[in-house]
Amino acid sequence: MKEPIRLRLVNYAALAICSMLIFLVYAALFQSNDTVFDSWGYSLPNSSCNLSSERTNVDAVDPQEFLLRRLVRGDDRVELDSNGFSCHTDVHSEVCVENKAVRIYNKGLTVYVPYDHQPQPQVKRIVKPYARQQDETAMRVVSPVQILHGNNTINPPPPCNFTHNVPAVVFSSKGFAGNVFHEFNEMIIPLFITTRHFRSRVKFVITDYQHWWVQKYNRVLSHLSESDVINPDDGSVHCFPGAVVGLKYHDHLALNVTDIPGGYSMFDFRQFLKESYSLKTNHVSEIRKPVLMLISRRNTRRFLNEDEIVEMMEGVGFQVIRVEPERMSNLDEFAEVVNSCSVMVGAHGAGLTNEIFLPNGAVMVQVVPLACDWVATYLYGAPGKPMGVRYLEYKIEPEESSLFDKYGKDHPVITDPESVTSKGYSAYRTVYVEGQDLMINVERFKNTLIEAKQILEASVPFNR
């Protein structure tokens, strides 16, 4: 006999109420400012919570430990659960997670991680917290962080100067800082991947501290952490209930949804940027007259006939904004300018990273110099689609490169770029990245701009 409908409704209601109570317990645990003290004498989140006179298993859950645990999987998680410390290394980055009480001694950048179980000899691990492990040039300027894990009786940690009730996240602001592509690719996006699910309940310890970098990305940092950042130069000792050393990296200007706690996507990251920078334009259809931003380079890959290009763009029907590199330095203001544009046009280079601020449905047009096809598409073309940005590219003919006049039409630099690239990146960069300017065929380029305008005219609001 089937269960009476009324009884089933009662059961469903009871289940829903129980689920809500469990959720409220987790929320209370996570948000509580009450603290208890560990064996080292500094504060940890209070996990005592009674629903009734009978204690429940939920009481034992530490939300911060749970969030730290979500950063690791497989054998790394088994190791973390076993001794409170685990490191994962891949070609790009090394990330160490400590879900137990730690002390960070800023002098010498040393992290002390206790071992709670049987006595274990102290083990030293050196980590350079920057997501470009494979690049020797970048890593040479990144300071190492020393992690001491195990029995601290031989090399005891110094006493705490400051105590915090949220985990630390340690990363470097050096590497290739100064190049906006690398800043987003190896710092900002990895920082989002690693810390967004903490909902601002973390504190950043920035090694190789550069004040200009912290100021430039202050809005991002303040939206990912509710606390001021720590500059290790003061040599103080900070105590935390856990820590992450290093940042998770996925791919060039990319997020892998299945490998992020909370399942955040590029859509979520761009929403985060919109909130951080108070960007107003969500979809390109909100812009009445199409606005085109032309990135004007001054050193390499310059448009030698830029005035002629601008005149053509205006003839197609665009309102043109020319932007030089110095204007991009104030990101708080520049993000708003980019967000007000329908189209971004530029030669292959770091400035195209700012496509990340374009509204949904906008078009990014990359002018691809000679021998830059693959790297142009891989670094700036492919990331566009997950951003909700349409991508077009204009590949120049050899005659449009300054290399054509410099070497002649029959030189291997023109006819066989592989003969140059086979000599290594340094040779390739010298010739094609640093040694090339562009004289655009305006009539041929015009067709690409007309296509961009047609895309805008046919665009409809972007839906997630």
**pLDDT tens for each residue of 6-19:** 444 445 455 555 55
- CB atoms closer than 10 angstroms to residue 77: 16
Q: What distance in Å separates the CA atoms of residue 283 and residue 461, rounded to the nearest whole number?
A: 6
Residue 273 confidence (pLDDT): 98
Q: Per DSSP, what are the bridge partners of residue 146?
A: 110, 126
β-pair type (110-113, 123-127)? unpaired
Residue 342 confidence (pLDDT): 97
pTM (two decimals): 0.85
Output the CA torsion 338→171→107→114 (10° steps). Answer: 150
* Cβ atoms of 45 and 62 closer than 8 Å: yes
- CB atoms closer than 10 angstroms to residue 302: 16
Instruction: Give per-residue pLDDT as tens, 356-372.
Output: 999 999 999 999 999 99
* Cβ atoms of 143 and 173 closer than 8 Å: no
Which token pair is 83?
Answer: 């001794």
Which token pair is 318?
Answer: 């665009």
Residue 15 confidence (pLDDT): 52
Q: How far is CA 359 from CA 279, 335, 461, in A?
A: 9, 11, 10
Which token pair is 55?
Answer: 């204690």
Q: What distance in Å separates the CA atoms of residue 193 and residue 458, rounded to the nearest whole number?
A: 34
Instruction: Give per-residue pLDDT as tens, 430-459.
Output: 999 999 999 999 999 999 999 999 999 998
- SS3 of the chain: the string is CCCCHHHHHHHHHHHHHHHHHHHHHHHHHHHCCCEEECCCCCEEECCCCCCCCCCCHHHHCCHHHHHHHCCCCHHHHHHHHHHCEEEEECCCCEEEEECCCEEEECCCCEEEECCCCCCCCCEEEEECCCCCCCCHHHHCCCCCEEEEECCCCCCCCCCCCEECCCCEEEEECCCCCCCHHHHHHHHHHHHHHHHHHHCCCCEEEEECCCHHHHHHCHHHHHHHCCCCCECHHHCCEEEECCEEECCCCCECCECCHHHCCCCCCHHHHHHHHHHHCCCCCCEHHHCCCCEEEEECCCCCCCECCHHHHHHHHHHHCCEEEEECHHHHHCHHHHHHHHHCCCEEEEECCHHHHHHHHCCECCEEEEEECCCCHHHHHHHHHCCHHHHCCEEEEEECCHHHEHHHHHHCCCCHHHHCCHHHHCCCHHHHHHHHHCCCCECCCHHHHHHHHHHHHHHHHHCCCCCC
Q: Give every residue of the chain whose pLDDT is below 50, as ranges.
A: 1-10, 12, 22-61, 462-464
Of residues 294, 386, 381, the one with CA closest to residue 343: 294
Residue 139 confidence (pLDDT): 97
Residue 238 confidence (pLDDT): 96
Residue 64 confidence (pLDDT): 86
Residue 13 confidence (pLDDT): 53
Which token pair is 41?
Answer: 């004498």
Q: What distance in Å separates the CA atoms of residue 183 and residue 235, rounded to the nearest whole number?
A: 26
Q: What distance in Å separates the CA atoms of residue 177 and residue 348, rounded to the nearest whole number?
A: 19
Q: What number of residues does the chain have? A: 464
* Cβ atoms of 167 and 70 closer than 8 Å: no
